[in-house]
Amino acid sequence: MASPLLRLALSPSPKSNNVILLRPVRLLHHLGPLRGGLGGLGSGAGRSVSKSLRLVRAKAVEFGAKEGGIQHQDARNTTILLEVGGMMCGACVSRVKSILSADDRVESTVVNMVTETAALKLRDGVEEEGEERVAEELARKLADFGFTAKRRRSGQGVGENVRKWREMAEKKEILLARSRNRVFFAWTLVALCCGSHASHLLHSLGIHIAHGSFWDLLHNSYLKCSIAAASLLGPGRDLLLDGLKAFRKGSPNMNSLVGFGSIAAFLISSVSLVNPGLEWESFFDEPVMLLGFVLLGRSLEERARLQASSDMNELLSLVATKSRLVITSSEEPTSPDSFLSASSVSIEIPTDDVRIGDSLLVLPGETIPVDGNVLAGRSVVDESMLTGESLPVLKEKGSPISAGTINWDGPLRIEASTTGAMSTISKIIRMVEDAQAKEAPVQRLVDSIAGPFVYTVMALSAATFAFWYYIGTDIFPDVLLNDIAGPEGHSLLLSLKLAVDVLVVSCPCALGLATPTAILVGTSLGAKQGLLIRGGDALECLAGVDIVALDKTGTLTEGKPAITAIASLVYNETEILRLAAAVEKTACHPIATAILNKAETLRLQLPSTRGQLTEPGFGSMAEIDGSLVAVGNMDWVHERFQRKIAKKELMDLENHLGYVSSNWAPSLNQSSSVVYVGREGEGIIGAIAISDTLRLDASSTVKRLQEKGIKTVLVSGDREEAVADVGRMVGIELLRSSVTPQQKFDFISSLQAEGNHVAMVGDGINDAPSLALADVGIALQIDAKENAASDAASVILLGNRLSQIVDALDLARATISKVHQNLAWAVAYNFVAIPIAAGVLLPQFDFAMTPSLSGGLMALSSIFVVSNSLLLRLQFSDRKRELR
């Protein structure tokens, strides 16, 4: 009679995108002893696993699939990405965010000024077909407040995405060229307007030049008024109109402050010009110089921001938009070892038109267009842009190959395994885009400051005018002797000039740029080094990590174990291996791979199985010849069956396995694990010893982490002896062995409850719940394959090297350090500059700013923030040279 077996299929809940629903599909009669073990969902193990699996968000995972892999089903995307133009400073970012968040259909909003995007998460009630309508309505709302907005399409082909990125880059280059032209025009006017000062400067240096009609013309106040008007209506026109429009719409920005300051200076001078009786000194050169400095700073800032996104352009350069499709006549099939037959034709097609299974030809020097496997040829391939590894990798028949890598030596014929949009490099680019759209937690504080910043500055400007006009000149009459008050010492003129200084010197741009520029540079640098970091929030959490928990198999070890011994008290070794391989043939764990490889080497005929079931962290089960067979750890297999092996027999089996293993001399860098095989009606019938090689960089990575003051802990479901051996070899003292996925989850939770910031490093589906729970989940991507671990992790190591953990940590700390430096500068600058512009030094030190000096300082503040973020690139390029 067939053994009782519970088959489970996991599918996404129809009501939630974030929970996996366990749904019984088939339940055979007479559960018997299974109720106490795996089969009963009421068991502790069953409950723990189902609870843990719910943490693997927005994914469905099916165990025992026919192909033995992990099948993913993406949840419906409820995120809208808008391209938003017209954001000039942090106040604009805050305004856009408040406009979008005010809509009842929007659950959360993230706005990035550097990438000019706004990511919106819609509430559950929004219908899928209504997303387009929601996006259009929100774009119109932003347009009503002076911002341009349109929806960015997702799911487009790789060629379309590359085209859009390149168009955006070209558009920015054109705008930068126009900006340079405006700067040239503005500074030509500055030179004319300030030409009169040049003669005074030359006289002070002892160089005397004759006064002629030209110099007299430059001293003419009406000419200066004309030059100032030309400056306002020429190079400064767009800036002034944008500032006035933003103010009228209720969202004043940096341009509003500069515009008001420039117009106020021009009007004051004009009043002085048409009313000589006031005896005010006109200062038409001030608005001209102010606009010159602001436009120069804006141009330099745009150039720096363009450089900050150049790393993304380098990633885009790895995308091949064209592919060579090889078509061979069916009457003359191509030999597996040849590139082309006599009847073969190679045609160039868009990469988006490539289909899975297509044969492609890649010549030396060309970029691999899609992921695939080598069918013929032999060459070395540069994978440095994906993995960070500078040495080329040999590729020959059967080798996997990734899109975005560069073929060096010889031609290769490859079989496509993915389409262009789903290739490795395309996914990397999408993930980097998503990462740059996510804000770091510190950005929320910045947004709360930047929002009311412009209104605060306007209020301070009005307060400055009121103080000096009504009170200040009476308390400090000597301030009227300063040049800023004019030759006759007018309190009204002094008050107006100081109020304009306050408007102009403030810099909300520095606040708005402090975080996104650093995050943009940091995530792009990470992608170039084979580190995929899912946003500023992950960077900030990673920078604060103080404990790193590491899995053993596939993480500290190579994940390519091999069988070293097989023991059985009843059957021969071949029968134990044959049963174990039959059960594990649909599993994807490294231990299952080792068992299957050994069986394939011995050319064993595997029996047919029914109803494979895998319980992550425990083992696998299947029905073979009418009997249930289980393969896994000792306690789990022991509890699967009603008939249990006696304790003495179990000890004899362990001793026999130890005797067999003693004939094999293990290396110092080997880690051994034991899996047990049990059969219904007999209990445990055998055991298999499997050894895995320690990663070459495991010990050095652990040592480097500990030198940085980070505690390390080894958490594994393997037996205590194997975990202790690995811990001793790599230098980890805090060990947790024989833990289930739920216990691993609880351990991470307990570390967090103690106030620690925990990073979890793993590579398998049993690590996914812990990776999702940890402050930072770090997954190693093995053989360029996605799995549940990489889905749940916030950092993915594409190079599959443990040393990249330290690289990611260094990058995160350096990036967040730049964020803090930028914020400290932005806050300190405004904290110091605004009071000085308001005249706080005037009574004691007789020092006051001019509007042109204030404008120059404001421009330099923004340039400093962007340039400081760009220093990250220099810092890590120097570090890379040192490592070489």
Structure tokens at 696: 């070459």
Q: Where are the beta strands (DSSP E) in 128-170?
A: 148-151
Task: State in Å, rounded, how far the first CA of the chain is from the last one.
Answer: 65
Q: What is the 3-state secondary structure (H, E, C) of 572-634?
A: CHHHHHHHHHHHHCCCCCHHHHHHHHHHHHCCCCCCCCEEEEEECCCEEEEEECCEEEEEECH
Q: How far apart are CA 249 and CA 91, in angstroms?
A: 13
Q: How far apart are CA 830 and CA 502, in angstroms?
A: 10
Q: What is the 3-state secondary structure (H, E, C) of 53-107?
A: HCCCCCCCCCCCCCCCCCCCCCCCCCEEEEEEECCCCHHHHHHHHHHHHCCCCEE
Neighbours of 393 (CB within 10 A): 17
- 434 contact partners, CB below 8 Å, separation of at least 6: 119, 534, 535
Burial (Cβ within 10 Å: 0-12, 13-18, ≥19) of residue 839: buried
Indicate which residue of 447, 537, 551, 767 is catalytic.
551
Structure tokens at 730: 């790599």
Nearest CA to 135 among 199, 53, 80, 88?
A: 80
Nearest CA to 30 among 39, 43, 21?
A: 39
Nearest CA to 423 among 526, 266, 318, 342?
A: 318
Nearest CA to 89 among 382, 394, 345, 451?
A: 451
Q: How many residues does the chain have?
A: 884
Q: How far apart are CA 380 and CA 288, in angstroms?
A: 60
Rounded to 10 deg, the angle between the 851-883 and 491-505 helix axes is 20
827 by DSSP, 3-state: which? helix
- 499 contact partners, CB below 8 Å, separation of at least 6: 264, 461, 462, 464, 465
Q: Which residue has the tokens 């939770």?
A: 749
- Integer angstrom CA distances of residue 154 from 158, 164, 354, 372, 562: 11, 12, 19, 24, 44
Residue 551 is a catalytic residue: yes
Nearest CA to 219 among 286, 292, 291, 284?
A: 284
Contacts 24+ apart (CB under 8 A), 745-751: 745/52, 745/55, 745/769, 745/770, 745/773, 747/549, 747/715, 748/549, 748/715, 748/773, 748/774, 749/773, 751/547, 751/549, 751/713
* CB half-sphere exposure, 158, CA atoms < 13 A: 31
Characterize the bridge pairing of strands 412-416 and 619-624.
Answer: unpaired
Yes or no: say if 716 and 672 are a contact pair by the CB < 8 Å rule: no
Q: How far apart are CA 616 and CA 744, in angstroms?
A: 12
Yes or no: say if 402 and 371 are a contact pair by the CB < 8 Å rule: yes
- 227 contact partners, CB below 8 Å, separation of at least 6: 189, 192, 193, 284, 288
Nearest CA to 869 among 521, 597, 628?
A: 521
The helix (run of H) or strand (run of E) holding residue 156 is none
715 by DSSP, 3-state: which? strand
What positions carry a catalytic annotation? 551
